[in-house]
Amino acid sequence: MTTAPEPSGIPPMPERNPKALRAAIAEYAPALLPDFDAHWKWAIAETYDLAPVPAFMAQWWTEFALARDPALARTVHDLESRAAEATTGGEARQLLTRAAHLRREAGKAEPGR
């Protein structure tokens, strides 16, 4: 079950399970839903293997955490785009390190926050 967005306009994180995460993506970030469903089907549903569920959840938890905050998503994507266009390896590494840090922090979001 999802709840109403915070006064900031950023929706809270759902309960930490695939069903709740899918519902939150469907409601607040529907553009991600086809990729979420395709990944679920490929990695879990077609294999009947639950071992990949924690990795799947970690990846999509972070993706939703970014998508629900458009400003954060823009910042991360800008850093990644700038890294792709960087003229030196050091510059690209610095930009990607910053983007990775923001992704890691987003992935630490707790349910309801």
pLDDT of 3 > 80? The answer is no
35 assigned to some structural domain: yes
- State the pLDDT confidence band at 8, using cuts at 50, 70 and 90: confident
8 assigned to some structural domain: no
Say how far apart CA 12 and CA 109 lie, in whole Å. Answer: 9
Domain count, the chain: 1
112 assigned to some structural domain: no
Tokens of 17: 């399970």
6 assigned to some structural domain: no
- Tens-digit pLDDT profile for residues 12-71: 999 999 999 999 999 999 999 999 999 999 999 999 999 999 999 999 999 999 999 999
pTM for this predicted structure: 0.87
The 3-state DSSP class for residue 24 equals helix
96 assigned to some structural domain: yes
Angle subtended by helix axes 18-28 and 53-67, to nearest 10? 20
Say how far apart CA 77 and CA 12 lie, in whole Å. Answer: 21
